[in-house]
Amino acid sequence: MDAIRLSAPASAPAAPTIASVRDDRVQVVLMGPPGAGKGTQAGTVADLVGVVHVASGDLFRESVKNGNEYGLQIKEYMDSGKLVPDDLTVKMVVARLDEPDGLAGFILDGFPRSLGQARALDEMLEREGRRLERVINIDVPEETLLARLSGRWLCSECHASYHTVYNPPRVAGVCDRCGGALYQREDDTLETARDRLAVYRKETVPVLDYYRDRGILVDVDGDQPIDEVTRALYDALPLLSA
Ligand SMILES: [Zn+2]
């Protein structure tokens, strides 16, 4: 890897290539449960640092829609109702990280989701002489997540949206605007929120343990105002001055 780096031009900023990428770029995975605000934070922090925000959900949709090499294969699995293999998913993600903006650094959001994906990602990056520098986990207490995820109520008449924590109606269960009755969608109920968090924990705890064992996991307190979370995330990044 050192040999590769020595062959890179010493000055003259050219478009980055795999060979010219140094190991101290922001090559970061952002993790966090549903309701942690991970997607928004990933976008904000990526903009602050000037690296690309790669959201695996978007990448899936785009790849399938554009019908690129991996997208076509993924679509076949999805159409036949089969699970997309980890190897294929990781190839799609790494292909994105190999584009010029990705080579300059990235914040990966929503991926890896399983231990298999985490290992495959490490292997593929390593083959290119790259590695994850840090995995940042947005940590939020269960009660806060449940309140955030299950707080949404809609008006049955005018469809206005309320939230029991962030935007409560003046009278519980009644629309401020039109007096209509408020109701919850199935997706917004406490039960659904509990299920989503249980699935997340089951999938993700092994991934977090894996990165903790590698010594690159940092926990950030996500139970504070949005700006404070952004600041804490920024501070947790492996920046060049470090
Ligand atoms: Zn209403």
What is the whole-number distance in angstroms between the Cα of residue 152 and the centre of ligand 1? 14
Strands 52-55 and 182-183: unpaired
What is the whole-number distance in angstroms between the Cα of residue 168 and the centre of ligand 1? 13
Provide the percentage of residues in the chain whose pLDDT is more than 90.
Answer: 76
pLDDT at 88 over 60: yes
Band of the pLDDT at 24, cuts 50, 70, 90? Answer: low
Q: What is the mean pLDDT of residues 162-177?
A: 95
Distance CA 73, CA 89 (A): 10
pLDDT at 1 over 50: no
Distance CA 71, CA 89 (A): 9
What is the whole-number distance in angstroms between the Cα of residue 171 and the centre of ligand 1? 12
Domains and CATH numbers, the chain: 2-139+200-230 (3.40.50.300), 142-188 (no CATH)
What is the whole-number distance in angstroms between the Cα of residue 189 and the centre of ligand 1? 20
Which of 5, 61, 65, 185 is an active site residue? 185
CA angle, residues 116, 118, 123, in degrees to nearest 5: 95
Q: Is 194 a catalytic residue?
A: no
Neighbours of 112 (CB within 10 A): 27
Q: Is 61 a catalytic residue?
A: no
Band of the pLDDT at 15, cuts 50, 70, 90? Answer: low
What is the whole-number distance in angstroms between the Cα of residue 33 and the centre of ligand 1? 31
Q: Is 96 a catalytic residue?
A: no
Cis peptide before 206 (omega within 30 of 0): no
Q: What is the mean pLDDT of residues 140-169?
A: 95
Q: Is 148 a catalytic residue?
A: no
Q: Give whole-number Cα distances, 145 to 17, 36, 212, in Å.
A: 41, 7, 23
Which pLDDT value is given to residue 240? Answer: 55
Which pLDDT value is given to residue 165? Answer: 87
Identify the weakest region by mean pLDDT among 12-26, 49-63, 73-87, 94-108.
Answer: 12-26
Q: Which residue has the higher pLDDT, 2 or 87?
A: 87
Neighbours of 36 (CB within 10 A): 23
Q: What is the mean pLDDT of residues 236-242?
A: 70
pLDDT at 12 over 50: no
pTM of the full structure = 0.82
pLDDT tens for 199-234 read: 999 999 999 999 999 999 999 999 999 999 999 999
pLDDT at 23 over 50: no
Q: Is 113 a catalytic residue?
A: yes
Which of 113, 119, 134, 231 is an active site residue? 113
